[in-house]
Amino acid sequence: MNDYENPDFYSRKAKDEGYFARSIYKLEEIDSRFSLIKKGMKIVDLGCAPGSWCQYLSNIVGDTGLVVGIDYKKILVTAPNIVIVHGNFLRDYNQAEIMTHGPFNGIVSDMAPDTTGDRLTDCFNSSDLVKDALRFSYDHLKKSGFFVAKIFQGGDEKAIFDEMKMAFKTVKWFKPKSCRKISFETFIIGMDFTGKPQLSEEAEDIMDVDNYSGDMPW
Ligand SMILES: C[S@@+](CC[C@H](N)C(=O)[O-])C[C@H]1O[C@@H](n2cnc3c(N)ncnc32)[C@H](O)[C@@H]1O
């Protein structure tokens, strides 16, 4: 087993480098591959606790940029260029609070549903979170903006990919090597936002919080 395959490698590295979570290396790999995040940008970080993505984003966007993070779990990160919304992203009032800081250059989501033990349910719950993040992005991303989301493979990812092709010039799948080998998560990346696509009524429906089958914290 080499260092990268050791399950503790990235956790130890994060601790040594002062990051709150090993997830930082997933975003770092995505960014070094696609060059998304730049000084002065305004970026939303969905599912940001404990805060390693916020740490990374805050360092790059600098004091002329802004990071708006949301999570219902405890968020540890603080910085002058980070605004935290503590709550559930699926709630309209929390989205309304985020959008007061928009429009945004990028929206990133590391949101993961609480797992149920049933892989199919977990995958579709993950897909639903991505669709919710996408619907928000369509209304609050600047032209040419980007979207990054974690998604569990085995749900509605094909439909999500097809939908994103209508809204972004380029759409890619990317699995960072820092994802745990056994994990079925991957990332979908949309670049060069062109505008909100025409969605079917069925696709629009997913936005309704009451249709969400995962556990709702509140
Ligand atoms: C893998 S963790 C994120 C780690 C984070 N990117 C970091 O680097 O510290 C996934 C997070 O998504 C959050 N989450 C899932 N669904 C959410 C929702 N509907 N609203 C807000 N946060 C959500 C969870 O509470 C959890 O903290």
pLDDT along the chain (218 residues), means of 10: 64 94 96 98 98 98 98 96 97 97 98 93 96 97 98 94 97 92 91 91 58 42
Does ligand 1 have an atom closer than 6 angstroms to the CB of 152? no
Domain boundaries, the chain: 3-143+150-209
Q: Which pLDDT belongs to residue 183?
A: 83
Q: Which pLDDT belongs to residue 44?
A: 98
At residue 148, φ and ψ (nearest 5 deg) are -130, 130
The whole-model pTM stands at 0.92
Does ligand 1 have an atom closer than 6 angstroms to the CB of 52? yes
CA–CA separation, 138 and 142 (whole Å): 9
Q: Which pLDDT belongs to residue 216?
A: 40
Atom of ligand 1 nearest to the CA of 56: 8
Ligand 1 centroid from CA 132, angstroms: 14
Q: Which pLDDT belongs to residue 73?
A: 96
Q: Which pLDDT belongs to residue 5?
A: 56
150 is catalytic: yes
Q: What is the CATH number of domain 3-143+150-209?
A: 3.40.50.150
Q: Which pLDDT belongs to residue 205?
A: 61
Ligand 1 centroid from CA 71, angstroms: 6
Q: Which pLDDT belongs to residue 170?
A: 98
Q: Which pLDDT belongs to residue 89?
A: 97
Percent of the chain that is helix, strand, coil (3-state, to 5): 40, 25, 40
Q: Which pLDDT belongs to residue 64?
A: 98
| Cis amide leading into 50 (omega within 30) | yes
Ligand 1 centroid from CA 112, angstroms: 6
